[in-house]
Chain A
């Protein structure tokens, strides 16, 4: 069966983890891993996995006779803002794992089906992939005036890109909580924890809910959504049943539901504690699969 060809740009933690996942795909053939540093460990790892590499960046990739069908961007928001128009011009569909937010946000269990033809789709952030499904589940039952998420990740799993541009995480995730999650207002918080042994990724979602509402229906929707995420991230679990708190004046008279999540990774590249890597690369791989199927189907 024909596969769509792909390049990964950015041989860091995310790019390396993504490579392992895409190499298991029946629809995608990863041909190139692109970096900017000849001594990059990530490029060496990709070569060892049988992938052609270059340290001469996007310029090199776009100068090749054969271009990929898909490019997975795992650099930084700044780098992707420069590269995105060039990919589009070359007719390469981009799956953006940076917080650049150029193309529409995609969160597979929420809105994967609606953006398959976009030239550029954005994977939001790791914290967004972990929490927005829950916000969407709650807002499918009741209006959510305000949703807030707290993502705690191990320091070891936060690469230099995340660290240099941490505002991109909070701003992009906050916005996606609104446009994908369906909350009227969103807020995102990220915490880096250096404890040893490393902590497994944790995410907490707080949603304001009407004072009077069907709490059982909300709970059921949350459990159903967790099952949908588990289809591609098996280590995505609830730490406890959703917690409901009664209305308070300081919450504008709203009640609150709090959801406590743990994301245990698959351990493809970084160890299992790095659920933050796993959930965004697993989501990107799922999106890539859908895009590839659409392309291969069209070519056939």
Chain B
């Protein structure tokens, strides 16, 4: 695939560059930052604002996807399906997407979401475990949903491995495969190499997407590089509302792509207003790069572990950034939030034993 060339005066010309579709995940990845406590009224107002801003796809689910409401990940204030139905009711032009993680959510959950009006199924696996998603892609296609595959923690695998896993998802029915930087760990080069490798493998059989986090401040830059490498779907969240230091902000993506002359269909002023006037007042804690979230990017830790590490840290008197560092060293993957408590217990025990050496060993 040829990569469009970009010039600084592209803005002044008719749009000649290929469009990128922005999927907004404020109401899914942002659910992590809200400890999964979104109300129906909040969902309605955010969907309304995004819809009017021209965002075509709005993802609404518990942060860990359908069925995520649990002890391990946090209980939702309002059931996923009720929130999806409210979002569908509110949207005029936008379509509603749902996330699901095989092993946690099931085809039954997907069918319920579809009945509630969701039209896009985003199926997420760890980046080396794509083959657990086959039955869900099949079901989603049979339901007539648009399908997106999500290769989480993509920084952990080589570009060729990511391409191989993307192939599995495409063969199973994915119409787009995302390179997902769940840990915000990709420094410049990592994202576009993976996007390029996936495109080399799947060609025009499916699109390629990119989902970035801001833990090392690279979310927007990586999104642009991913576009230049051929990605045509990019995720964002208003006010960066997402796990860890947050997602690539939708309003910044819209502004940046417009300056680059890349059509998004999103009205920059409306997106800015949505972030400032709708989302900001409902958020008690705006995601930012602090010690713990930077460690997540640095150590390659799944971003949604942040609040869990803070809670375990407070419960057991252990610094959250130490827990997260240890989580990274252990190679835990998305969904293993229970291991955060386990590690906090271990660190606390090592402290109690006064065993200074052991603290750095495991």
Asked if residues A171 and B106 are in contact (CB atoms below 8 Å), the reply is yes
Q: List 11 A-B contacts (CB under 8 A).
A: A148-B70, A166-B103, A167-B107, A167-B136, A190-B103, A193-B332, A194-B333, A195-B331, A199-B331, A258-B338, A260-B345
The chain B residue with its CB closest to the CB of A171 is B106
User: Which of A155, A160, A165, A240 is B135 in contact with, Cβ under 8 Å?
Assistant: A165
Give the interface residue-count category, chain A.
35 or more
CB distance from B106 to the nearest CB of A (A): 4
Asked if residues B103 and A240 are in contact (CB atoms below 8 Å), the reply is no
Within 8 A of A (CB), among B149-197: none
Q: Is A150 an interface residue (CB 8 A)?
A: yes
7 interchain residue pairs of minimum CB distance: A195-B331, A204-B338, A206-B71, A167-B106, A190-B103, A191-B335, A194-B128
Chain B contact residues, CB within 8 Å of chain A: 67, 70-72, 75, 77, 102-104, 106-108, 126, 128-129, 131-132, 134-136, 315, 330-333, 335-336, 338-339, 341-342, 345, 349
Within 8 A of B (CB), among A148-189: 148, 150, 152, 155, 160, 163-167, 169-171, 187, 189
User: Which of A164, A170, A206, A245 is B72 in contact with, Cβ under 8 Å?
Assistant: A206
Q: Report Cα–Cα, A163/B136, bound state, in Å.
A: 11
Q: Is A60 an interface residue (CB 8 A)?
A: no
Asked if residues A166 and B338 are in contact (CB atoms below 8 Å), the reply is no
Asked if residues A166 and B102 are in contact (CB atoms below 8 Å), the reply is yes
Asked if residues B134 and A164 are in contact (CB atoms below 8 Å), the reply is yes
Asked if residues A189 and B103 are in contact (CB atoms below 8 Å), the reply is yes
Given A167-B107, A189-B103, A189-B104, A194-B342 contact (CB < 8 Å):
no
Task: Point out the residues of chain B lying under 8 angstroms from A194, CB to CB.
Answer: 126, 128-129, 333
Given A155-B129, A166-B135, A170-B103, A189-B70 contact (CB < 8 Å):
yes
Given A166-B135, A193-B331, A239-B345, A148-B339 contact (CB < 8 Å):
no
Q: Is A256 an interface residue (CB 8 A)?
A: yes
Asked if residues B331 and A240 are in contact (CB atoms below 8 Å), the reply is no
Q: Report Cα–Cα, A56/B238, bound state, in Å.
A: 58
Asked if residues B342 and A260 are in contact (CB atoms below 8 Å), the reply is yes
Asked if residues A193 and B132 are in contact (CB atoms below 8 Å), the reply is no
CB distance from A240 to the nearest CB of B (A): 5
Given A192-B103, A251-B75, A260-B126 contact (CB < 8 Å):
no
Asked if residues B132 and A150 are in contact (CB atoms below 8 Å), the reply is no
The chain A residue with its CB closest to the CB of B349 is A240
Taking A163-B134, A187-B70 as known contacts, 11 extra A-B pairs with beta carbons closer than 8 A to each other, sorted by chain A number, are: A150-B72, A163-B131, A163-B132, A166-B135, A171-B108, A192-B103, A194-B333, A204-B72, A250-B77, A258-B341, A260-B341
User: Which of A164, A169, A204, A260 is B103 in contact with, Cβ under 8 Å?
Assistant: A169
Given A195-B331, A240-B342, A258-B341, A170-B70 contact (CB < 8 Å):
no
Task: Point out the residues of chain A lying under 8 angstroms from B341, CB to CB.
Answer: 204, 243, 258, 260
Given A165-B135, A193-B126, A148-B342 contact (CB < 8 Å):
no
